[in-house]
Amino acid sequence: MFYLTSGVLFLLVALSAPAYAEQNLLEGGLLLTAAALSVMALALILTLRSLARRNAKLSRQKQSFQRLLAETPGIIAILDKNLLLINASSSLKSLVTEQDHSTLAIPVPLFADANGSIDLLPEIRQQLKQQGIWHGEVWLKNEHHCEAFKISVHNLSSHQGKTSTYILFGQNITKFRQLAAHQQQQQLRDDTTLLPNQLLFIEQVRQAIASCDEHYPSAALLILDFVVASQSEREVRLNEQQILDIATNLKLLVPETLLLARFQHNIFSILVPPHLCKQYNTIFLNQLAHKLIAGFNQVDSQGMRSPLRIYIGISISPNDGDNVDLLLNSALKAANRASEQSDSALCFADSANQQQAPDFLAMEAELYRSAAHGEFDLYFQPKFSISSNRIVGFEALLRWPSPKRGMLPPPTFMPLVEETGLIINLDRLVFRKACQQVSYWQQTGLMRGRLALNISIQHFTQRDFLRYLQDTLTEFELAASLFELELPESIFNHPTIWLRERLHSLERLGFKLILDNFGDGISSITQLRLFPLHGVKLAPALVKYIEQQEQQRNICATLIRLIGYMELDVTATNIETEMQAYLLHVMGCDCQQGHRFSRAVPAEDIGQLLLKENQLLNNQRQLAN
């Protein structure tokens, strides 16, 4: 360009020169112009060659990058500002789309969990805006794939937040995770049976003991020692196939809610956690142990008994040990004592529990037999009105006249009845006998108030519960208004809509609904307002110490007052002394029952009880006159 300008200036000067030099000057200008054009052409050629080399370099870089995207074992991606794919490695493309496009406009499905329930993209976007980098472990999941990656995402701009492009790269760690999980399983599970091993079992026992509290105070262990007796009655070591067969059978016999583990070569163990170790845990443990013994003491088609023997030792915290070592040692010692008793036996670590152990199985069989023949009696405890000194109703209480044990009250057999599910049959037997008795009382003029019946939660939740009550009432031509149903607080564990509908159905039939043991469980004043209840029966624990403890008196008085505000009836039970009756009457509780007034009596004694009441009332009238 410089030479072109100089040539033009020269021509201008030449035009002003004398004419004789015109021809020479023109020739010189043309030469200079030609030279300038040559230089320009050369510069253009050089520029084009430079651009060609640059394009060739960019093409090689692009080919290298594409080869990298195609061949890399990890994942690489270029993302836009919304973290949508601009370009990605083949390995990543295969995970997010079935078609191999070079340019993709779809999001990368990154999640924090293998189920794909926690989307990580919002968190990644937020951190990239703030810091320009994000790294961590993710799950890349779609309909066909679910793999784990460790990734990093970087802002490509040197000025943070001024660009819309990011680069993502990562490494597949799925196999590493699987290997780590397998190694952990080998550490915590038995190789042969895949059951938890001794290490994991001991840790679970430790946690179970630590979680015990006043509501769930106990945990229990069962040690199962298996041996094979040869023809010479010498014990032989079990092989791996026998161990596997035992584990398979145990998985069928042991409830899934319990922890089954392989403790040693021929020893298995079971943990009963605190929330399943109920107040009457010895019944459940006896049933479980006998079920296990029966499950292995089988006879084949030829009448030959299996040579396998099972010895069960049972320990319960905290009586048999308040830590892992003591509790395990107690169970192991009990299993050793069981092996000394007989073929396939069980033994409790506690001697008192052991004395009852043989009796539970026999009692269960007797209960089933008695229930099938209706061999249960109803006794009736009167409810008294303190203000009128009159009987205002009765509560039906079950008694079992056992042929071998005599007349037994509910606490001696009811836990076993509830554990076996026999409670449903007994509830229905009680209602039927109660209808028979009420029908007789109406005919003889002995009926007073309503007859209260305890309803178990198992029976209450049966589909045909309402139908059975209605059909039985129809059979005896009785009205539901003659009965009170005392319901346990555990009804509130069921869905609100279902419970409200069931209670309304009972109310429409005419039953009076009473919440039993109020103040000793999960029920609250709010629940009394939500459901169609007609009254409550105070828990015996509220009444027991009202004479001695001022705080207990205040609590009891407050509850009675609140219940009265909601226009609900209140009944106190287990009244033992005159002072308890007086204090409750002052607090506003008029209806009471307990040994202070009368024990539960058989039906034939009700007439005598009412006659005695009339005599006392007549004597009071005479004294008043």
Interval 83-141: pLDDT, tens: 888 888 877 777 776 544 445 577 888 888 888 888 888 888 888 888 888 988 888 88
Same domain, 20 and 86: no
- pLDDT tens-place string over residues 564-608: 999 999 999 999 999 999 999 999 999 999 999 999 999 999 988
Spell out the alpha helix ranges (H) of 342-388: 351-372
Alpha-carbon gap, residue 564 to 583, rounded angstroms: 16
Q: Is the peptide bond before 409 cis (omega within 30 degrees of 0)?
A: no
Which of 67, 84, 107 is where one domain is finished?
Answer: 67
Alpha-carbon gap, residue 126 to 112, rounded angstroms: 15
Same domain, 173 and 209: no
Which of 149, 178, 207 is where one domain is finished?
Answer: 178
DSSP 8-state symbol, 304: P
Residue 425 scores a pLDDT above 50: yes
Residue 186 lies in a domain: no
Same domain, 360 and 411: no
Q: How many structural domains is the chain composed of?
A: 4
Q: Residue 220 is encoded by which pair of tokens?
A: 């229990």
Residue 408 lies in a domain: yes
Alpha-carbon gap, residue 162 to 150, rounded angstroms: 26
CATH number, position 514: 3.20.20.450
Alpha-carbon gap, residue 404 to 441, rounded angstroms: 32
Alpha-carbon gap, residue 503 to 105, rounded angstroms: 58
Grouping H, G, I as helix, E, B as strand and the rest as coil, residue 61 is helix
Residue 234 lies in a domain: yes
pLDDT more than 90, % of the chain: 35
So what's the pLDDT on residue 64?
Answer: 63
Alpha-carbon gap, residue 275 to 40, rounded angstroms: 95
Alpha-carbon gap, residue 12 to 29, rounded angstroms: 10
Alpha-carbon gap, residue 521 to 514, rounded angstroms: 15
Residue 485 lies in a domain: yes
Same domain, 469 and 492: yes
Same domain, 283 and 303: yes
Same domain, 390 and 504: yes
Same domain, 24 and 101: no
Residue 12 scores a pLDDT above 50: no
- The phi and psi torsions of 488 (rounded to 5 degrees) equal -75, 155
Same domain, 202 and 296: yes
Residue 389 scores a pLDDT above 90: no
CATH number, position 85: 3.30.450.20
Same domain, 149 and 214: no
Same domain, 130 and 259: no
The letter for the amino acid at 202 is I
Same domain, 507 and 598: yes
CATH number, position 303: 3.30.70.270
- pLDDT tens-place string over residues 54-97: 877 777 666 665 565 555 667 888 888 888 888 888 777 777 76
Which of 41, 67, 93 is where one domain is finished?
Answer: 67
- Structural domain boundaries enclosing 169: 72-178
So what's the pLDDT on residue 456?
Answer: 93
- pLDDT tens-place string over residues 447-475: 999 999 999 999 999 999 999 999 999 99
If pLDDT is split at 50, 70 and 90, which confidence band does 524 have?
confident
Residue 622 lies in a domain: no
Same domain, 350 and 378: no
Residue 345 lies in a domain: yes
Residue 607 lies in a domain: yes
- pLDDT tens-place string over residues 246-264: 999 999 999 888 999 999 8
Residue 497 scores a pLDDT above 80: yes
Residue 183 lies in a domain: no
